[in-house]
Amino acid sequence: MRPSMSLVRSVQRVTRRSYSSEAVPERKVAVLGAAGGIGQPLSLLMKLNPLVSHLSLYDIAGTPGVAADVSHINTRSEVKGYAGEDQLAQALEGADVVIIPAGVPRKPGMTRDDLFNINAGIVKGLTAAIAKYCPNALINMISNPVNSTVPIAAEVLKKAGKYDEKRLFGVTTLDVVRAKTFYAGKANVNVAEVNVPVVGGHAGITILPLFSQATPTANLPHDVIKALTKRTQDGGTEVVEAKAGKGSATLSMAYAGALFADACLKGLNGVPDVVECSFVQSSVTELPFFASKVRLGRNGVEEVLGLGNLSDFEKEGLESLKPELKASIEKGIQFANQN
Ligand SMILES: NC(=O)C1=CN([C@@H]2O[C@H](COP(=O)(O)OP(=O)(O)OC[C@H]3O[C@@H](n4cnc5c(N)ncnc54)[C@H](O)[C@@H]3O)[C@@H](O)[C@H]2O)C=CC1
Ligand SMILES: O=C([O-])CC(=O)C(=O)O
């Protein structure tokens, strides 16, 4: 779980010297929603990633400008912009990884589930196109509510006869990024060395950081752990409120999305021991989807890792989150099968 350092090092290497493209395979990454608040900085970060050879930027509008801008950066990948549904096929063809930050963000007072009505349809349409044009791609689902959009994507892929549970990921990396930052602040340790698994889902109490497994260990008192847990669970809302109607986390999400996509690319390229938390099809609990540590490899998910030892507080948190997560998963499945 230390891709942040390796991504930073990769980017530093690229800015220091020109990149030798013989060293790594060709990889096409498509960003769907690339002209948006997350999409733009995410496209920038993927352009800085030396593992990417082709960067495909798709949105309903605005992508030619974003693509022209990003394409001037002197790094490995060739950038193409695609705008509008009639260019979606070209945007997707041959993609190894498809990152989806397409959809509306929250405003103050809204829950992630309040985005369901609009985003469910967007995700459904985009996943149907993935099933058609790049069924082998690893899908990195960012669009909220992740607890429902991932099950929607799974159902759409199943209907198309293209579902491979190893290739579908809900991106929960921002929860891990936040847990690491907040923990380092309280534990007074070097943030670059911190690891904290975050399990469950990606909304409110379904986000369950496992501070009992945090390293370096710090023996923080229970009230501090409780406060850290709450802050991690409410991290998205903290940003939504601070932005006061201008959307939700975009920059930290772009960073987290770039980390997760980098981990997927490393896995595809055969780098060993790439482990990240993600919301995937799972048998770790009785729920069909669950976020936990996942080992990434040449086919996507190599292994869904278990939860490890939980504190009593975390055990309680796990039981409390299950009904909400179950309902969100079922809502997604029902939507995909009714519409
Ligand atoms: N998983 C996570 O941790 C996080 C998820 N999010 C979610 O990411 C999503 C995007 O957030 P922002 O970038 O801030 O929103 P935004 O509104 O700034 O950008 C969304 C983009 O999606 C595009 N879009 C809409 N329909 C589309 C379609 N059918 N095909 C392609 N593109 C389409 C829009 O044109 C827009 O450019 C939201 O649902 C938000 O809740 C945000 C932060 C963290
Ligand atoms: O809170 C939101 O709506 C966006 C999000 O998922 C996050 O920042 O974790």
pLDDT tens for 169-210 read 999 999 999 999 999 999 999 999 999 999 999 999 999 999
User: What's the confidence (pLDDT) of residue 24?
Assistant: 87
Residue 231 belongs to domain spanning = 172-331
Q: Are residues 182 and 93 in the same domain?
A: no
pLDDT digit string, tens, across residues 222-241: 999 999 999 999 999 999 99
In this structure, is residue 134 part of a structural domain? yes
Q: Is the dihedral of CA 34, 39, 41, 47 positive or negative?
A: negative
In this structure, is residue 338 part of a structural domain? no
Structure tokens at 6: 């390796």
Q: How far apart are the CA of 99 and the centre of ligand 1, in A?
A: 11
The per-residue DSSP string of 253-288 comes to HHHHHHHHHHHHHHHHTT-S-EEEEEEEE--SSSSS
Query: What are the residue numbers of the active site?
Result: 202
**DSSP assignment letter at 171:** -
Which residues carry a binding-site annotation?
A: 33-39, 59, 106, 112, 119, 142-144, 178, 253
Q: Are residues 53 and 77 in the same domain?
A: yes
In this structure, is residue 7 part of a structural domain? no
Q: Are residues 155 and 43 in the same domain?
A: yes
Question: Tell me, what CATH number does 51's domain have?
Answer: 3.40.50.720
The per-residue DSSP string of 124-164 comes to HHHHHHHHHH-TTSEEEE-SSPHHHHHHHHHHHHHHTT---
In this structure, is residue 1 part of a structural domain? no
Q: How far apart are the CA of 65 and the centre of ligand 1, in A?
A: 18
Task: Provide φ and ψ at 293, rounded to 5°.
Answer: -65, 140
The total number of structural domains in the chain stands at: 2
pLDDT digit string, tens, across residues 237-293: 999 999 999 999 999 999 999 999 999 999 999 999 999 999 999 999 999 999 999
Identity of residue 285: T
- Ligand 1 atom 22: residue of nearest CA: 102
**Residue that is last in its domain, among 123, 154, 171:** 171
**What is the Cα–Cα distance from 308 to 320, expressed in whole angstroms?**
18
In this structure, is residue 220 part of a structural domain? yes
Q: Are residues 181 and 146 in the same domain?
A: no
Q: Are residues 176 and 134 in the same domain?
A: no
- Is the CB of 252 inside a 6 Å radius of any atom of ligand 1? no
In this structure, is residue 255 part of a structural domain? yes
**What is the Cα–Cα distance from 15 to 301, expressed in whole angstroms?**
31
- Is the CB of 106 inside a 6 Å radius of any atom of ligand 2? yes
pLDDT digit string, tens, across residues 94-107: 999 999 999 999 99
Q: Are residues 44 and 158 in the same domain?
A: yes
pLDDT for 144 beyond 50: yes
In this structure, is residue 306 part of a structural domain? yes
Q: How far apart are the CA of 261 and the centre of ligand 1, in A?
A: 17
**What is the Cα–Cα distance from 209 to 232, expressed in whole angstroms?**
7
Q: Are residues 180 and 315 in the same domain?
A: yes
In this structure, is residue 94 part of a structural domain? yes
- For residue 77, list its beta bridge partners: none
Structure tokens at 145: 């509510």
Q: How many residues does the chain have?
A: 339
- Is the CB of 328 inside a 6 Å radius of any atom of ligand 1? no
- Is the CB of 240 inside a 6 Å radius of any atom of ligand 2? yes
Q: How far apart are the CA of 248 and the centre of ligand 2, in A?
A: 6
Question: Tell me, what CATH number does 202's domain have?
Answer: 3.90.110.10
pLDDT digit string, tens, across residues 4-56: 555 545 544 543 444 444 468 999 999 999 999 999 999 999 999 999 999 99
Q: Are residues 119 and 138 in the same domain?
A: yes
Interface predicted TM-score (ipTM) over 0.90 = yes
**What is the Cα–Cα distance from 267 to 270, expressed in whole angstroms?**
5
Average pLDDT over residues 94-123: 98
User: What's the confidence (pLDDT) of residue 10?
Assistant: 52
User: What's the confidence (pLDDT) of residue 17?
Assistant: 40
Q: Are residues 178 and 148 in the same domain?
A: no
Structure tokens at 29: 């990454």
Which residues carry a binding-site annotation for NAD(+)?
A: 33-39, 59, 119, 142-144, 253
Which ligand is the nearest neighbour of the Cα of 234? 2
Average pLDDT over residues 55-60: 99
**Which residue, among 227, 243, 218, has the nearest Cα to 182 in the 3D structure?**
227
Q: Are residues 246 and 311 in the same domain?
A: yes
**Residue that is last in its domain, among 171, 202, 223:** 171
Q: Are residues 227 and 152 in the same domain?
A: no
Q: Are residues 57 and 167 in the same domain?
A: yes
pLDDT digit string, tens, across residues 288-328: 999 999 999 999 999 999 999 999 999 999 999 999 999 99
- Ligand 2 atom 7: residue of nearest CA: 236
**Residue that is last in its domain, among 115, 147, 171:** 171
Contact 93, 135 (CB under 8 A): no
Which residues make Cβ contacts (< 8 Å) with residue 138, sequence separation at least 6?
Answer: 96, 97, 98, 167, 168, 169, 264, 268, 300
